[in-house]
Amino acid sequence: MAQDTTAIPAEQAQTQSDNAEMCALMRSRAAMYGFLSRLFIHEVDADFLAQLRSMAYPQNSDNPAINEGFRKLYSFMRHAREDVLSVLSVDYARTILGSGVLNGNAAFPYESVYTSEHALVMQEARDEVLAIYRANGMDKEAKWTDPEDHIALEFEFMRTLCERTAQALEDEGSGEYSPQELVATQYGFLMLHLLRWIPRFCIDVPRYASTDFYAAAAQLTDAFLADEKVLLEDIAEASGIDLEETLAEARAADERIDAIMEEAAAEDHEAPNIVVTTGEELDPSAKATE
């Protein structure tokens, strides 16, 4: 009897199944980061409104707060007024940009505002995240004029890392990046950047928003990031990633960037272009997904 050369050993089959599941998880996370990026990058336009009205809203996650956030978004879309684009545009301008607010207070979407001493833009956090993007071969598009620590660009960075991780798993270690390195980068960025400020941003958004839409977006964002911490810790443990070492290396990198920028400022000249980039661009406006 001829041997069946198409049979796959059980251990290899299990590995392939595990990789397929992890790829699907990474791409699901990438889609969510893309969606959250689009929620905050700028006001809802006609194309995004059509997407919001047609998309299937998940209701079966293990996190009730995520389910509730999606339910509120769905409810808002279902009962939206005819002038919903105008309503959301005004609410975005007031809530996120502080337009028309006498005291100038808003939920400004920049890490520097929430982490610097005087709540200013273009502070240490911006320099740190820009260096991280470039260290990972990415940079902002030329048309991007906001500071690089904008919530939408930080989410787009995570989206790209998730996509790269899925690709690395499919390449089975033969690609440019290893899944373990990419997961470690995600965890470091989540812990030292996203979770440093976005939970407070998500508290502020409902304080200034006049619609349930942005309140729901904030709830969804906060709940998703809380889940992300647990998920990445579980993945790291299963993959043998040393999280303490990961955070120590990430903190050291941020501190080096801060020192370089402080030295440049003290010498009263323009800060150097710290890290060479391969030129891959981050474009959150083009990455909205369901």
What is the CATH classification number for the domain harbouring 188?
1.10.3480
Is residue 270 a part of any domain in this protein? yes
List C-alpha distances in Å: 260 to 217, 228, 275, 276, 289. 36, 31, 12, 15, 37
Is residue 119 a part of any domain in this protein? yes
120 vs 279: CA distance, rounded Å: 28
Predicted confidence pLDDT, tens digits, the chain (290 residues): 444 444 444 454 456 678 899 999 999 999 999 999 999 999 999 999 999 999 999 888 889 999 999 999 999 999 999 999 999 999 999 999 998 665 668 999 999 999 998 888 889 999 999 999 999 999 878 888 899 999 999 999 999 999 999 999 998 867 788 999 999 999 999 999 999 999 999 999 999 999 999 999 999 999 999 999 999 999 999 999 999 999 999 999 999 999 988 887 777 655 444 443 445 777 766 444 44
> How much is the pLDDT for 80?
93
Is residue 101 a part of any domain in this protein? yes
> How much is the pLDDT for 283?
72
> How much is the pLDDT for 105?
86
> How much is the pLDDT for 58?
86
Note down the domain range covering 271.
Answer: 37-286
> How much is the pLDDT for 269?
52
Is residue 11 a part of any domain in this protein? no
Tally of domains within the chain: 1
Give the E-state strand segments of 126-258 in sequence order: 138-140
Is residue 2 a part of any domain in this protein? no
From 217, 210, 245, select the one nearest 81 (Cα to Cα). Answer: 210
186 vs 228: CA distance, rounded Å: 10
DSSP tag of 281? E
> How much is the pLDDT for 250?
96
Is residue 19 a part of any domain in this protein? no
- Collect all residues with Cβ–Cβ distance below 8 Å to 144 and sequence separation of at least 6: 153, 282
DSSP tag of 280? E
Is residue 239 a part of any domain in this protein? yes
Give the E-state strand segments of the chain in sequence order: 138-140, 280-282
Is residue 215 a part of any domain in this protein? yes
Crossing angle (nearest 10°) for helices 212-239 and 243-266: 120
> How much is the pLDDT for 104?
67
Buried (b) or exposed (e) across 80-114, using 16+ Cβ within 10 A? beeebbebbebbbbbbbebeeeeeeebbbbbbbbb
